[in-house]
Amino acid sequence: MVEEVFKRDLQMDGVYNSEHLCFVLSQFDREFGLRHHLDTNKEVRKAAEPIFVRGREVQQKLTERETRLQQVRESRERHCSLIEELESRIRELQAETHGKKRKRIDEPTLMDLMLLEDRLNDLKITTGAEAEEEIKLVRGVKHLEIAHHFNISELRLACNNDRKQKSIARVRQDFEQTQQQMGLVSTTPLQVFCTSAETFLKYENPNLKIRKQGFPSRQDTEIPQLRDCFNKFTFAGRDQRAQEILERFEQLVSSMKPWIGDQRGDLKISAGQRERWEPLFEVEIEQLSQVCP
């Protein structure tokens, strides 16, 4: 899996071992066929059966709520149309009654008006109840949609873990085969990281509300673990290199102090050059002396 030329370079350098190497599988958050993976990996599907059961329950409730929500909305729309018609008819009857003297209003008109007003009040009460039910149903549908999202996320997480285990096994197998060819034996398993950098960067946003399915937390991107591994690999080297730099500074300071203090410097540089450069060197030497006393 590792390019042969690069692998031979590592072997020649004597660092083809788990103490000096780690393997990174990048872009592990790319989309993959969830259904296909479950169909071709029966053991994963069997282990995820409780997730499927919860998912079917959520999906059934979601379907029922969405169906009821559609019914309530259609009913409320019909009732709102009826309310508009009744209010229009009531206004017409009221106009007729106001156009006549009180004693000349016939009883059928008054009865119709009273019945229409009673019907209108009943419809308004019904429509108000339907509006409240619609609000509750919308809230319930949103909660169920979130539950459905997390249910799919659980399935993707299970598949991701399976993909990681198999990928890690293949990488370690290739690594160990090469070590056997070299006559070496691994003392510790090779560290393999299945990273998802793009998802990790998204999770750095504190305002992110919906997490990517299959990655419940930043730890699942394995970027923090990879960072810890790199720190472990480089801590010792950093200290050694810093010590070497300090030693070189000390040598530089020691070698330059006699040269600058040499009164016969005119034999090395001209008086004009010395006059121009000597103050600068003295400032730099003073600063180095503070770092390397």
Domains in the chain, number: 2
Which one has a higher pLDDT value, 32 or 71? 71
Do 114 and 259 lie in a common domain? no
Q: Could you tell me the pLDDT band of residue 208, with boundaries at 50, 70 and 90?
A: confident
Contact 190, 180 (CB under 8 A): no
For residue 102 the two structure tokens come to 């009180």
Do 173 and 279 lie in a common domain? no
What confidence score (pLDDT) does residue 103 get?
47
Task: Please state, for a pLDDT cut of 70, what percent of the chain lies above it.
Answer: 86
In a domain, 233, yes or no: no
d(CA 149, CA 224): 25
What confidence score (pLDDT) does residue 106 get?
55
In the predicted model, is pLDDT for residue 78 greater than 50? yes
Do 249 and 128 lie in a common domain? no
pLDDT tens-digit readout, 8-29: 777 776 777 777 788 899 988 8
Do 42 and 160 lie in a common domain? yes
In the predicted model, is pLDDT for residue 202 greater than 80? yes
On the 0-12 / 13-18 / 19+ scale of CB atoms within 10 A, 87 is middle
What confidence score (pLDDT) does residue 260 get?
64
Do 177 and 253 lie in a common domain? no
In the predicted model, is pLDDT for residue 264 greater than 60? no
Do 60 and 204 lie in a common domain? yes
Q: For residue 268, what are the domain limits?
A: 242-291
Instruction: Supply the Cα-derived Rg of the chain in whole angstroms.
Output: 40
In the predicted model, is pLDDT for residue 70 greater than 90? yes
Do 38 and 130 lie in a common domain? yes
Identify the bridge partners of residue 191 per DSSP, sorted by sequence position: 22
3-state helix, strand, coil in the chain (%, to 5): 75, 5, 20
In a domain, 228, yes or no: no
Which range, of 151-165, 169-183, 188-202, 214-228, averages the lowest pLDDT?
169-183
d(CA 123, CA 120): 5
For residue 229 the two structure tokens come to 């591994």
Mean pLDDT is highest, among 60-74, 113-127, 257-271, for 60-74
Which one has a higher pLDDT value, 128 or 236? 128
What confidence score (pLDDT) does residue 30 get?
87
Do 66 and 208 lie in a common domain? yes
Give the mean pLDDT of the chain: 84
pLDDT tens-digit readout, 215-247: 999 999 999 999 988 888 777 677 777 788 888
What confidence score (pLDDT) does residue 129 get?
94
Q: Could you write out the DSSP letters of every residue in 140-168?
A: HHHHHHHHHHHHHHHHHHHHHHHHHHHHH
The mean pLDDT of 70-81, rounded to a whole number, is 94
Do 152 and 50 lie in a common domain? yes
Q: Mark which of 175, 191, 221 sits at the end of a domain.
A: 221
Do 89 and 191 lie in a common domain? yes
Do 217 and 263 lie in a common domain? no
In the predicted model, is pLDDT for residue 81 greater than 50? yes
pLDDT tens-digit readout, 28-67: 888 888 889 998 999 999 999 999 999 999 999 999 999 9
In the predicted model, is pLDDT for residue 210 greater than 60? yes
In the predicted model, is pLDDT for residue 174 greater than 90? no
d(CA 73, CA 136): 12
In the predicted model, is pLDDT for residue 2 greater than 60? no
Do 76 and 10 lie in a common domain? yes
Mean pLDDT is highest, among 27-41, 44-58, 79-93, 254-268, for 44-58
Which range, of 67-76, 162-171, 236-245, averages the lowest pLDDT?
236-245
In a domain, 97, yes or no: yes
